[in-house]
Structure 1
Amino acid sequence: MATVRTARTAWQGNLVAGQGEVTFASSGIGTFPVSWPARSEEPNGKTSPEELIAGAHSACFSMALSHGLTGAGTPPTKLDVQADVTFQPGVGITGIVLSVEGRVEGLDEAGFVKAAEDAKANCPVSKALAGTTITLNAKLV
């Protein structure tokens, strides 16, 4: 069964001087301020679309990798995933770097990297972001 998740943004003012609030309506986890300076300069306690994409991508990739490793008989003990989304004003999102360190018993480095590459290619968020260059750094710890 398909699921729908909802977020809303209320924006006031123009792009540069304006500001908004993103509300995660489906989960009810909260409302977070968003602004242009949080995208193009320093966050100063506010989020940006790129940070929200980074959160979605790191979570989705973690789930996909965990699922793939478990299905192959080598469930992870721990995965630590970071997604870095680069935004260039006037150009847009220019790349995403996924970095993962994993603890997986019974798996060598090559097997871990292969599983991570598969997760990168097949997680739904990676597929949705297919127009962006996504690179991967993966290692066992």
Structure 2
Amino acid sequence: MDRKARAVWRGTGKDGGGELTSASGVLSATPYSFKTRFENEPGTNPEELIAAAHAGCFSMALAFQLQGAGFPPEELQTEAVVTLEPDGQGGFHISRSALTLKAKVPGVDKAKFDELAGLAEKTCPVSRVLNAEITLNATLA
């Protein structure tokens, strides 16, 4: 399975800008720039997209883990906070992705929930591709 997205950039790194488009059409000429990345101007940025991908991937992986263990979830709310830091060599690197989960899962005890959440965090494909510290704070409602 292959998934595609395209970036178009015009101009310099700081003063230029671009658009991101995904094959599905969910992103369609979505603006991104230095200001959307470092100054919170409206638009998106690569780290926000990685955070969305990580939250979505983890939530789906956990849903499969819970279902397989006989505990279909009612709702999984996951927030991912991706941290971009200077790398000390004039560039930047993603150092961390912090997952915060609030889950409604009838019938599961805390120990089993924590076990399955930890397994989902380690096995979701986005977690596996990130070369960064990944933390998980999971709450079972």
Q: Name the TM-score, length of structure 2 as normaliser.
A: 0.92
Matched residue, 2:84: 87
Secondary structure, aligned partner of 1:117: helix
Pairwise CA RMSD of aligned residues? Answer: 1.1
Kept after mapping to 2: 8 A contact 1:112/1:139: no
Indicate whether 1:5 and 2:3 are aligned. Answer: yes
Indicate whether 1:134 and 2:131 are aligned. Answer: no
| Shift of residue 59, structure 1, vs aligned partner | 0.7
Q: How does 1:97-108 map to 2 (within 5 A)?
A: 97-108=98-109
Q: Name the TM-score, length of structure 1 as normaliser.
A: 0.92
- In structure 2, stretches of 5+ residues that fail to align are none
Indicate whether 1:51 and 2:48 are aligned. Answer: yes
Percent identity, please. 46
Which string of whole-angstrom CA distances, capped at 9 and with x for unpartnered residues, describes residues 37-74 of structure 1? 222221x2111100010111111101100000000011
| Distance of 1:16 and 1:111 partners within structure 2 | 48
Q: What residue identity is the alignment partner of 1:93?
A: I
| Shift of residue 78, structure 1, vs aligned partner | 0.6
Q: What residue identity is the alignment partner of 1:134?
A: I
Which moved further from structure 2: 104-113 or 8-17? 104-113
2:74 aligns with one of 72, 77, 89: 77
Kept after mapping to 2: 8 A contact 1:19/1:36: yes
| Shift of residue 87, structure 1, vs aligned partner | 0.9
Kept after mapping to 2: 8 A contact 1:39/1:87: no
| Distance of 1:38 and 1:110 partners within structure 2 | 41
Secondary structure, aligned partner of 1:95: strand
1:17 aligns with one of 15, 18, 22: 15
Number of aligned residue pairs: give it.
136
Q: What residue identity is the alignment partner of 2:106?
A: E
Which string of whole-angstrom CA distances, capped at 9 and with x for unpartnered residues, describes residues 3-48 of structure 1? 11110011000110110000012x1223211111222221x21111
- In structure 1, stretches of 5+ residues that fail to align are none
